[in-house]
Amino acid sequence: MATPSLSWFCFVILLCSAAAEALEGSFSVELIHRDSPKSPFYVPSETPFQRAGKAVRRSIARVRGIRSNDKGEPSAGITRIDADYLINITIGTPPVSIVAIADTGSNLIWTQSPPCDHCFPQEKPLFNPRESSTCAEVDCNSDECHLFDRTNCASQGSTCQYSVSYGDKLSSVGNISTDIIGLSTLTGSAVTFPGMVFGCGFNNRGPFSTHTSGVVGLGPGDASLVSQIGGNEGSHFAYCLVPFFSTGKYTSKLTFGSDALLSGDGIVTTPLIIDSDTLYYHMTLEGISINGKKFEVSGSSEDDDITGNMIIDSGTTLTWLPSDLYRQIEPEVSAAIDLPRAKDPIEGYNLCYESSGVLKGAPSITIHFTGADVVLNWYNAFFQVKENITCFSFVPTGGQPMYGNLAQMDFMISYDLDLFTLSFKPYDCAN
């Protein structure tokens, strides 16, 4: 896994400069949890625990998608389209509203567009590039064409096309274009970025949801929203996720610019590692402490390289640990909790207890990343899945370990793409 230089993120200088000119300072936008009342996925008749069950099942399916991609299936950095957070953007002149999946595991912005050789039904109107006075197709000779991982050109000078495949036989093919992309900030103002590169998908196959119109990638790839904003401001972003059962009252936020850099006490920082093949954000997990007793990742001796062994993923609910590490900590967690064991109602957990509300006797848990010890709240590691059942939200995997969003809630998490670092600060994200 190689750490690219800053120029890797911003090699199309004019493109990044144009976006940076539109950004006069820091700004924050809403990250909408798909199970919150602000989401088009929200079903008022569902109980909070039914929504919790759906979140766990999405997490299981997402990790299975990564396993399939590890076997050589084509991908563009994202493995599942059903991540947990949404973002509202506009594209074009006049602006067309888009509800999109927001995902740090994705490196591509795309939306459905005519001529729709094959499009999935969507609730909002399609973005039509011919109706936008500021939209322009990208030709195969341009630098913008090479921002995408997989492109197809019938001949030099023809329109550049992208192709992306996801898990569960989902895929999108379309023309690469440039246009104005707009975001509504939490202060009520709008910020716009001209000349942004994105995909107009006209052949989109698989069980996509009617509630969304595409994807906004927040990954480190050159075509993602983060990289295209560019400049000194766009090279930093942060998010603060409110706890799962608070999403009905409060909104998570995504911040770009200098305000995304953390200050004050309580900050811990670890190297951010970019996998040049998958373009995920990786960290190095060294071990976990349960009530002060530390358990190390197998192979963490000086002779073994575990660099970048864990993905941080905002779109995955659970935290998936290396099986060897999980087998070490499970007995310690179990011994610390003096409550009756319960049967897992979702079949996604190993440890469940008869408990509602605050889990009594929950052990203190510290995650040890290289250079950063992250001390968790009890609800970062335990998830109430029914009125009287709470489960340990860390589970084993024989595949790619992932640091899920339950473990990230009530932390300000800052990505510095200049220094390639990831910082954590305990934070009341509802405020």
149 included as an active-site residue: no
84 included as an active-site residue: no
Q: Tell me which residue of 113, 87, 84, 40 sits closest to 183, measured CA to CA.
A: 87
Structure tokens at 119: 């499009």
The secondary structure element, H or E, covering residue 256 is strand 252-256
Among candidate residues 35, 84, 103, 179, the one labeled active-site is 103
Structure tokens at 25: 């300072």
Quote the CA–CA distance of 69 and 275 in Å, as a whole number: 14
Amino acid identity of residue 188, one-letter, is G
CB atoms within 10 A of CB 419: 14
Q: Which residue has the tokens 């109706």?
A: 131
- φ/ψ of 236, rounded to 5, equals -130, 135
Tell me the residue ranges of DSSP E strands in 72-229: 85-91, 96-103, 109-112, 136-137, 151-152, 161-165, 171-184, 190-205, 214-217
- φ/ψ of 346, rounded to 5, equals -110, -20
Sheet containing 394-397: order of strands: 273-274, 281-283, 310-312, 402-403, 319-322, 394-397
Quote the CA–CA distance of 24 and 258 in Å, as a whole number: 11
Write down how long the chain is: 431
Residue 271 has, within 13 A of its CA and on its CB side, a CA count of 15
Specify whether the CB–CB gap between 140 and 160 falls below 8 A: yes
Q: Which residue has the tokens 């790839």?
A: 221
Specify whether the CB–CB gap between 414 and 261 falls below 8 A: yes
Quote the CA–CA distance of 98 and 87 in Å, as a whole number: 8
Structure tokens at 231: 């400049």
Tell which phi-psi region holds residue 304, choosing left (phi > 0), alpha (psi between -120 and 50) or beta: beta
The secondary structure element, H or E, covering residue 81 is none
- Count of helices and strands (H, E) across the chain: 7, 28
Specify whether the CB–CB gap between 353 and 391 falls below 8 A: yes
Among candidate residues 179, 313, 410, 416, the one labeled active-site is 313
Cite the active site residues. 103, 313
